Amino acid sequence: MRILDRGTIFDATAAPPERRFCTVPSLVRLPGGRLVAALRAGSSKDAADEDTPVLVSDDNAATWRLVSNLAKTRHEDGGVQFIFLDQQLQGVLLDWAETAGVSDKRIANVVAVMRHVPHHNDHIHVRFKCRERDSSCR
């Protein structure tokens, strides 16, 4: 057995309190690279409110992480202003985030900067705000 990659499957710090305790009893990489993970998530270990979401990622959630991390900068000087992508891709990302237990606050932060542009379902464009000190930026 060898380690192929390292990353986060479930970020409990970003999850709402009722989903902060999580175990990953099953993780499979299918031919072609798709990851399928079954989680047990609840307010405590073996809690009555526990559920078992099944997450699927074709890119190890890299697209969500990129968009989410960019959105975190939206209140910063020179931070992201808009992320342009097709509604279909927006839906895929938001469905993944909800299934993964991402907090409503974090999802709302991403939604606030996403804008629909047709035919942007395999790439994104990002517009950053001008920095206050950059008088030549429009």
Give the domain ranges of the chain.
12-128
Highest mean pLDDT among 22-31, 51-60, 114-123: 114-123
Q: Taking 90 as the threshold, does the pLDDT of residue 112 lie above it?
A: yes
Residues 84, 107: Cα–Cα separation, whole Å: 16
Q: Residue 115 pLDDT more than 90? A: yes
Residue 9 has pLDDT above 80, yes or no: no
Provide the CA 108 distance to its chain's centre, in angstroms. Answer: 11
SS3 37: strand
CA atoms of 57 and 6, how far apart (whole Å): 15
Q: What is the largest CA-CA distance in the chain?
A: 58
pLDDT band per the 50, 70, 90 thresholds, residue 100 = confident
3-state percent helix, strand, coil for the chain, nearest multiple of 5: 25, 25, 50
Instruction: Give residue-wise pLDDT tens across range 28-66.
Output: 777 766 777 778 888 887 788 888 877 777 776 778 888
Please check the confidence at residue 90 and state whether its pLDDT lies above 80.
yes
Closest among 12, 3, 1 to 106, alpha carbons compared = 12
100 by Cβ neighbours in 10 Å (0-12 / 13-18 / 19+) ranks as buried
Coil, helix or strand at residue 126: strand
Q: Please compute the mean of the pLDDT values over residues 71-84 and round it to a whole number.
A: 93
d(CA 52, CA 42): 9
